[in-house]
Amino acid sequence: MLPLPAEVYLSDASHAADQKLIADHWTCIGRVEDVPLPGAWIRGPGRLIVVRGEDLELRAMFDVCRHRASTIVDGESGRVARLVCPYHGWSYDLSGRGKECDGLVRAHVTTWGGFVFVSRRAAPLPAPHFITADLAMLRAGHRARWEVSANWKLLVENFQESHHFPSVHPGLERHTPFARSSSIVTGGPWLGGRMELLAETVSRDGQRHGRPLIAEPGVVHDALLFPTSLFSVQPDYVLSYRLSPLAPDRTRVDFSILFHPAVAHLDHPDVVEFWQKTNDEDRAICERQMEGLREGVWTPLCYAESEDGMIAFDDMIRRAYS
């Protein structure tokens, strides 16, 4: 089998297909604690929002007014008493019901491990069998957002293989060497990776600095929820990445690091700075790859033997497109 053709990373047609594919699958859009109270809402892909109702239930709906389609709320999150359209004032309660109509168009929301997931239409979300840690009690201690000048699928493929650790991430290679990592290939929607950990944890000096264990020591488990939600479970913290394609060659990354609740409020520069550097290395290498693809001379040749996790992702893309 050959890698995906260059045009799936470059064309507007693939970008449009990707937007649809993402809307039809589950996307992790935040944590349960991001919507703690009635009226609190967070945004998913496009105009999809998740709102906490008066009855404390989470509901997914589109903030597109049923009257003449104006969008209703601005930004990425907020808290409202009702959803009031700024055009002619139609208003909707926290479950999306309106007086003049049967209400806002609904979508699906579910939770796993304290994360909130949305989808326009989706089968029930199974839990990834290879993650056994209790992630629901964790709290976000660090959040960051950046943009990468590369197609989002290059970022996922990069996440799916550790073949690049020795050359791109010498710091990471020291703690979780490429030669001691393997992929966990399933029929989807979760794909995984397992890395042997040679230090206490992945941090600047490989130490936990008193952070309580939240998962198995001696190992790191990665999990990709197809297509755009990435997680990495370390012994004492969890990384989560959400990829939002803005254009064929531009991707927004929302990143957070979750810790045990007893230490989530503290600064963890040994972890935060380590991942800032590592994420930056991935950003730079994916941008180089995108620049190479744009040149228009590359054609698919082969996968490396260790790239089975990436092959599994590319396969899911092929199936979703066909």
Helices (H) and strands (E) in the chain, counts: 7, 16
Cβ nearer to ligand FES, comparing 93 with 216: 93
Stretch (H or E) spanning 313: helix 308-321
**82 counts as binding ligand FES under rule CB under 6 A:** no
Cβ nearer to ligand FES, comparing 41 with 190: 41
Amino acid letter, residue 179:
A
- Total count of residues recorded for the chain: 322
Amino acid letter, residue 81:
A
Sheet containing 229-233: which strands, arranged edge to edge? 139-148, 250-259, 237-247, 229-233, 219-225, 190-196, 181-184
Asked if residue 250 lies in contact with residue 15, where contact means CB atoms within 8 angstroms, the answer is no
Interaction residues for Fe ion, span 225-284 (CB under 5 A): 282
Cβ nearer to Fe ion, comparing 138 with 155: 155
Of residues 2, 5, 70, 132, which one binds ligand FES by CB under 6 A?
Answer: 70
Of residues 22, 73, 85, 290, which one binds ligand FES by CB under 6 A?
Answer: 85
Asked if residue 290 lies in contact with residue 247, where contact means CB atoms within 8 angstroms, the answer is no
> For ligand FES, which stretch binds (CB under 6 A), given 62-70, 175-183, 246-254, 300-308?
62-70
Of residues 82, 88, 180, 288, which one binds ligand FES by CB under 6 A?
Answer: 88
What does 88 bind: Fe ion, ligand FES, none (CB cut-off 5 to 8 Å by kind)?
ligand FES
What does 282 bind: ligand FES, Fe ion, none (CB cut-off 5 to 8 Å by kind)?
Fe ion
Stretch (H or E) spanning 107: strand 106-112
**129 counts as binding ligand FES under rule CB under 6 A:** no
Cα gap 121→207, rounded to integer Å: 43
**87 counts as binding ligand FES under rule CB under 6 A:** yes
User: For the CA atoms of 275, 217, 136, 80, what is the dihedral angle to 10 degrees?
Assistant: -10
SS3 of 45, please? coil
Asked if residue 162 lies in contact with residue 194, where contact means CB atoms within 8 angstroms, the answer is no
Residue 92 C-beta: closest distance to ligand FES, Å: 10
Cβ nearer to Fe ion, comparing 53 with 206: 206
Q: What are the residues binding Fe ion (CB under 5 A)?
A: 282
Which residues of the shown chain bind ligand FES in the complex (CB under 6 A)?
65, 67-68, 70, 85, 87-90
